[in-house]
Amino acid sequence: MSQPPTRERVASYVRSHPGLHFNELVRRLDLAPGQAQYHLRGLTGDGDLCREEVSGRTHYFPAEYGPDDRLLVALLRRETARDVCLELLETPRRPASLAEDLDVARSTLEWHLDGLVDADVVRKRRDQRGRVTLELTDPEATARGLRVVRPSLPDRLLDRFTRLVDGLLEGE
């Protein structure tokens, strides 16, 4: 039996934009939240899609995505986490210089690092003097995840607004 047109449109969009979070899906497909929930519930119940809760957001994926890939892509949907990984692809970095180069508050960097470290994407290595160096645990897997993520303008604006507020709060 074929799926209703809206349900197929939702499934198709998630397949071409894995890791998209719920609000972005609603915006991009111009759906009412209840309509999106209805179709996503059907698609996940049928096993066509799966969902992953990461950092307060629900992300949707094609069913063939494994748990590790879902977590990585969901984390990389955030601009700061993505920028951290892009920088670490080039070379391991110290947290202070990375925060400065990314123009983010140290607390913002640490919040994103917590998620990346917990997901085993980034590791904090300490030298003999206890200084921390950040490095990717699997640069090839991270590069694959980065190729999947194509953030939208609203996602980028939300991330930048969060950076602005964090910067203002850190100045207090």
The architecture CATH gives domain 72-170: Orthogonal Bundle (1.10)
pLDDT digits (tens, 9 = 90+) for 12-49: 999 999 999 898 899 889 999 999 999 999 999 999 99
**Per-residue pLDDT at 1 exceeds 60:** no
Query: Does the fold of domain 72-170 match that of domain 5-65?
Result: yes
Of 53-57, 90-94, 117-121, 134-138, least confident by mean pLDDT is: 53-57
Residue 78, classed as helix, strand or coil, is coil
Residue scoring higher pLDDT (153 or 110) = 110
4: pLDDT confidence band, cut at 50, 70 and 90? Answer: confident
Side chain identity at 172, as an amino acid letter? E
- Domain locations along the chain: 5-65, 72-170
Taking the model in full, what pTM does it have?
0.78
**pLDDT tens figures, 56-80:** 899 999 999 999 999 999 999 888 9
| DSSP H or E segment with residue 20 | strand 20-21
- Can you give the C-alpha Rg of the chain in angstroms? 18
Instruction: Specify the DSSP class assigned to residue 61.
Output: E
Report how far residue 74's alpha carbon sits from residue 100's, in angstroms, rounded to the nearest whole number: 24
Q: How far is CA 118 from CA 53, 58, 72, 113, 114, in A?
A: 14, 18, 11, 8, 6
Strands 57-62 and 20-21: what pairing?
antiparallel
CATH number of 5-65: 1.10.10.10
pLDDT at 172 over 90: no
